[in-house]
């Protein structure tokens, strides 16, 4: 390689090195611009606590909000279906499930998947101490879901708390 080619190649590589961080930052900025605003997520999650009509209205405008989670305190995450579940709003929870909402163990307890829950808790007893949104327990979700037999079973396994207070600070 002659001197001229060497200099030209190194100038091109040097320029690319200088420009690369800027292009990476631009890509990161684009990714941030493609996320939902936390206030919109919170509005949707709060609507699912109390109003089927408002939940439908927001989801119609923003269908990809369906599985977004709001963080109320550090580590205290809640989805719309989670809010509907711990508030005992079966109409809202079932609507969200019909739309394809992802479920967790607390939603399954609320909705009445008793055999599945018993198998999970038997195989993984640490779930008895798992906090749901705002610290609500499996027992709370069983009771607001009207799952009396499951609530009794959870109590027989040692779960007596309906909420683990202070867990999220």
Structure tokens that stand for 49 in this block: 């606590």
Q: What is the pLDDT of residues 95-132, one digit of tens each?
A: 999 999 999 999 999 999 999 999 999 999 999 999 99
Q: What is the pLDDT along the chain (169 residues), one digit of tens a residue?
A: 666 665 566 655 555 545 555 554 455 455 456 889 999 999 999 999 999 999 999 999 999 999 999 999 999 999 999 999 999 999 999 999 999 999 999 999 999 999 999 999 999 999 999 999 999 999 999 999 999 999 999 999 999 999 999 998 7
Q: How far apart are CA 119 and CA 41, in angstroms?
A: 33
- Output the pLDDT for position 83: 98
- Output the pLDDT for position 93: 98
Task: Please state the separation of Cα 63 from the chain's center in Å.
Answer: 15
Q: How far apart are CA 92 and CA 83, in angstroms?
A: 9
- Per 3-state DSSP, what percentage of the chain is helix, strand, and coil (rounded to 5)? 70, 5, 25
- Output the pLDDT for position 52: 98
**Entry pTM:** 0.79
Residue 166, classed as helix, strand or coil, is coil
- Output the pLDDT for position 30: 52
- Output the pLDDT for position 127: 97
């Amino acid at each position: 390689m002659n001197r001229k080619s060497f200099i030209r190649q190194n100038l091109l590589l040097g320029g690319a090195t200088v420009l690369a961080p800027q292009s990476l930052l631009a890509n990161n900025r684009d990714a941030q611009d493609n996320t939902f605003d936390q206030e919109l997520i919170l509005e949707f999650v709060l609507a699912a606590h109390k109003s089927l009509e408002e939940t439908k209205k927001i989801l119609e405008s923003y269908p990809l909000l369906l599985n977004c989670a709001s963080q109320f305190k550090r580590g205290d995450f809640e989805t719309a279906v989670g809010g509907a579940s711990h508030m005992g709003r079966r109409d809202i929870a079932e609507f969200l499930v019909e739309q394809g909402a992802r479920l967790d163990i607390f939603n399954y307890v609320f909705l009445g998947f008793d055999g599945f829950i018993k198998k999970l808790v038997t195989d993984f007893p640490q779930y008895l101490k798992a906090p749901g949104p705002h610290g609500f327990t499996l027992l709370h979700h069983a009771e607001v879901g009207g799952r009396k037999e499951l609530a009794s079973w959870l109590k027989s396994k040692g779960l007596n708390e309906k909420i683990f207070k202070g867990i999220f600070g």
